[in-house]
Chains A and B, each alone.
Chain A
Amino acid sequence: MHGLINRSIQNYVCDSYGPSCWAEATQRAGLEFTEFEAMLSYADDLTPRMLDAVCEVLERSRPEVMEDIGTYLVSHPTYEAVRRLLRFGGVNFSDFLHSLDDLPDRAKLALADLDLPNIELREHDEGRFSLICDAPVAGYGHLLMGVLRVMADDYGALVLLDHMGRNDGVETLTIKVVEADYSAGRSFDLGARA
């Protein structure tokens, strides 16, 4: 697993709950170190082990923690670059949803060894979508839900999201765009320094 993903979990726990919580989680997961390097690779089984330990320490369920991580990734100032890069995907929320299909390839453009799970968007009728995602780590759909919630606010769209469960390593979300221009949203300047 790419260090960037493990490092994100670490930053989420440290920024939201403090370094001592994180230290406890790494100990519980049997890690011999506490710092993940964003630009190095780690064994795949480390990530679910780390997440289990984090859930135990925080006494919260995996879906809750995953959605929180998703929220954190696109709203915390440390990760302003992630929000900005996602905003390049589209001029409005629906446009953005369609750009999610390209997300794994876009991520690869920046970091060739970063493998994001495949995502497929299906449009049913006006404003109703399903998002089907591979979830090698259980709860990835919940993480995406956290991301989508913040991005909807970012675009100023009023959106209803539901997680439809996990089947055969695949998680499905339903998305209903109630109102595309519900609020002003956050500004996005193409040329701003990240």
Chain B
Amino acid sequence: MSEGLEQSDVLDVLCPMHLVLAPTGHILHAGPTIQKLRPETPLTGQRFLEAFVVKRPRTIRSMDDLRRATDIKLHLEFHDAPRTALKGVLVPKPDGRMIVNLSFGISILDGVRDYSLTNADFAATDLAIEMLYLMEAKSAAMEASRRLNLRLQGAKIAAEEQAFTDTLTGLKNRRALNTVLERLVAARKAFAVMHIDLDYFKAVNDTLGHAAGDHVLQVVARAMVEETRRTDMVARVGGDEFTVVLPDVDSDEILRRIGRRIINRLEEPILFEGQTCAISASIGTVWIQGGERLSLEGILADADLALYASKHAGRACQTFYTPALRDPTAADAPAASVAPVGPARSRDS
């Protein structure tokens, strides 16, 4: 018996979570740490299979089953709350007694928290403390990395946003326009493109200065966004040149209406430091019916041609592209597609 006690002393140091079981299945001795998990009730004297539930292998119901379950990993938990999950291994001794060594396994952090364990509760060779150290160090490092990733993602979105934005007006720029158009062309979608060129803008810039010009461009940009639909995209592609992309157009009447609204709106006098700036706009529109294979360059050239036709027809109007515009002999004839807007004006550019 004294030999047995001595052995318990050794095991208490090497395996502080071990149990010594009698052949009957009663707990003869409990290591100091496993006992610490049940401070109110001594484990010694209880039946092992009443204090613990064997979760796996499920076939273990009796002490005889258990005795045969040597050298395999046992998954156990306490019978009463807190039902901490434990891993175990059982070794039978020649005298019929059994030693079960237990550990927390992956539930180590919960175990340490639930039972306020300290370094001294683990064997000096146990990697539990290193495991806890790593869990804490890694979560701190991951958290720092996560925050860096969020910041970088924010910076990336801001940079992309800037790269697609005209800084003076806040409208999309030519790069954004090309990206959207390429997508629509590739998908052979139906859409329309309006080229809008401001009339008399050069006069504003020349007589009232660049500050007035910039102000006019900002007002114009706002007006265009307001007079188009939410799904339309307005881009500033040059000094006083704008392009509107209109997806989902089912009749040219919508285009006529939007064009008319834009021109009417831009003809409203714009005040800048007490001075009135009066401008208008010419529009060239291409309506793509969809399903066709077209080139981006071709579409933009057609829109340009329609725009020149509007300029040619006396400005402040919208022209729809038709192949007839390509016929130089017809260029001077007033095209049916020209839609003058508002009262006739006589004004120099």
- Report the separation of the CA atoms of residues A85 and B129 in the bound assembly, to the nearest whole angstrom: 11
A190-B119 in contact given A85-B137, A106-B133, A110-B138 (Cβ < 8 Å): yes
A-B contact count (CB 8 A): 57
A38: interface (CB < 8 Å)? yes
- Report the separation of the CA atoms of residues A90 and B139 in the bound assembly, to the nearest whole angstrom: 21
Nearest CB in chain A to that of B111: its residue: A191
B112: interface (CB < 8 Å)? yes
Tell me if A39 and B145 are in contact (CB < 8 A): yes
Write out the residue numbers on chain B whose beta carbons fall within 8 Å of the beta carbon of A45: none
Q: Which of A7-47 contact B (CB under 8 A)?
A: 37-40
Interface size grouping (class) on chain B: 20 to 34
**How many residues on A have C-beta within 8 angstroms of the other chain's C-beta atoms?**
20
Tell me if A191 and B113 are in contact (CB < 8 A): yes
Tell me if B136 and A91 are in contact (CB < 8 A): no
A38-B119 in contact given A109-B134, A110-B138 (Cβ < 8 Å): no
B5: interface (CB < 8 Å)? no
Nearest CB in chain A to that of B140: its residue: A81
Write out the residue numbers on chain A whose beta carbons fall within 8 Å of the beta carbon of B140: 81, 85, 110, 194
Q: Which residues of B contact A (CB under 8 A)?
A: 109-114, 116-120, 129, 132-134, 136-141, 144-145, 148, 151
| B129 touches which of A37, A189, A190 (Cβ 8 Å) | A190
Q: Which residues of A contact B (CB under 8 A)?
A: 4, 37-40, 81, 84-85, 88, 90-91, 106, 109-111, 189-192, 194
Tell me if B148 and A39 are in contact (CB < 8 A): yes
Tell me if B141 and A189 are in contact (CB < 8 A): no
The distance from the CB of B110 to the nearest CB of chain A, in whole angstroms, is 8
- Report the separation of the CA atoms of residues A26 and B33 in the bound assembly, to the nearest whole angstrom: 53
- Report the separation of the CA atoms of residues A39 and B142 in the bound assembly, to the nearest whole angstrom: 10
| B118 touches which of A39, A110, A111, A190 (Cβ 8 Å) | A190
9 closest A-B pairs by beta carbon, nearest first, are A110-B137, A191-B112, A191-B113, A88-B133, A39-B148, A81-B140, A91-B119, A190-B112, A110-B141
Provide a sorted-by-A list of 19 A–B residue pairs whose CB atoms are within 8 angstroms: A39-B144, A39-B148, A40-B148, A81-B136, A81-B137, A88-B129, A106-B137, A109-B133, A109-B134, A110-B137, A189-B116, A190-B117, A190-B118, A190-B119, A191-B109, A191-B113, A191-B116, A192-B113, A194-B136
Write out the residue numbers on chain B whose beta carbons fall within 8 Å of the beta carbon of A85: 133, 136-137, 140
- Report the separation of the CA atoms of residues A138 and B65 in the bound assembly, to the nearest whole angstrom: 66
